[in-house]
Structure 1
């Protein structure tokens, strides 16, 4: 969960993102003036549809989250159970255990949120939505062969391309 600020309306907005740690793609996101458990569930369902994971023929992903109220709610836990999703919650005060999404949130903050002074919610929504599309389709990542997440995902599906293994020193 990431927060943004709308200067012209003097209020915050929420950005919820689901990242696929394999290909670094943001497979689902919610931008809103609120972010409740029902929004988290709808965004998860959307991400599963995008990856065609509602057929029941494939292994379901593991969702890792912090301990925010949306993720500890009965609504979210019931949805995970119904969807056959394993939900891992990281221990409190250990954001490094959720490093992929924390890194994405830092990039989002540095590249977009800190460079804009939003006048309206509509402007904030459009800016973040455009950024998410750019991030998935154009931003390259060294860990996935200097490809964008979408390009890496496609190459993985067609040729079995795998992420770069980190060098341990």
Structure 2
């Protein structure tokens, strides 16, 4: 009786949807639909990219990486598959300016307002961030970035935040990239960058110094964004016990960031790839 009722229901459904009984039976025999099989295969590619970048890539960047592999698929589908399998990229929070941070106006002006960066070694940006070790001590990381390609051209690490730290990173940047006419170096109004020793070093290299406008930290948003990415993708996910371990982490991340990590603002390629395209 139940079998007859099921057959009758199937017949009615086939008439409603305009399909034959044989077609319906064939569909049932096929088991998992083609779409689900494709999603399963696609997930393996998504997971390999996600793991390769240590969980730092979301659906936009993974979609671009898939296209580089010759797999053309929509971002919404990638996002759905990631969501279904619990893959969620780590995210950083971008710094927002807070009014009233400065009470004094210094003589160095902001020279990058409205600037159009069109080539490497036109504008370098720098800053210093702090990193706390497990024992409660602090390490300070000074970085110089080429704003055109987002490439980190030099960095220095120290247990002291002073002018020696920032001098070390700018000296390395010049050694790595050479001297360039009309090069601007931009930073915040930290005391390390305001010191007479640092300003004299920039003059010796022929570099024009630029600093944030008063009460406007967003002038240096690119380097702030880098520090947030670095801390979110590495430091906050690891227990850093020593300065030696931290140095090893920084070396590995800088290599990854410059040669593998893609950036949406430069066409979903790494800084190294972006500069290679220009130079070639």
Is 2:239 aligned against 1:117? yes
Select the residue among 197, 201, 211 that pairs with 1:89.
211
Partners in 2 of 1:121 and 1:36 — Cα distance?
Answer: 17
Is 2:183 aligned against 1:61? yes
Is 2:125 aligned against 1:3? no
* 1:28 alignment partner, SS class: strand
User: Is 1:13–1:32's contact at 8 Å kept on the other side of the alignment?
Assistant: yes
Partners in 1 of 2:268 and 2:234 — Cα distance?
Answer: 21
- Gap runs ≥5 in structure 1: 159-169
The residue number in structure 1 matching 2:178 is: 52
Partners in 2 of 1:116 and 1:34 — Cα distance?
Answer: 22
The residue number in structure 2 matching 1:100 is: 222
The residue number in structure 2 matching 1:37 is: 163
Flag the structure with more relative contact order, 1 or 2, with Cα contacts below 8 A and sequence separation at least 6.
Answer: 1
Shift of 1:47: 0.8
The residue number in structure 2 matching 1:27 is: 153
* 1:59 alignment partner, SS class: coil
Partners in 2 of 1:147 and 1:121 — Cα distance?
Answer: 31
The residue number in structure 2 matching 1:133 is: 255
TM-score (normalizing by structure 2): 0.53
Shift of 1:60: 4.1
User: Is 2:186–2:211's contact at 8 Å kept on the other side of the alignment?
Assistant: yes
Partners in 1 of 2:224 and 2:238 — Cα distance?
Answer: 20
* 2:132 alignment partner, SS class: strand
The residue number in structure 2 matching 1:18 is: 144
For these two proteins, the number of residue pairs brought into alignment is 153
Larger strand share, 1 or 2: 1
User: Is 1:66–1:92's contact at 8 Å kept on the other side of the alignment?
Assistant: no
User: Is 1:25–1:136's contact at 8 Å kept on the other side of the alignment?
Assistant: yes
Q: Deviations over 1:8-54 (max 9, x none)?
A: x320100111111100000010111123212312211211221132x
Select the residue among 67, 74, 78 that pairs with 2:200.
78
Partners in 2 of 1:60 and 1:113 — Cα distance?
Answer: 36
TM-score (normalizing by structure 1): 0.85
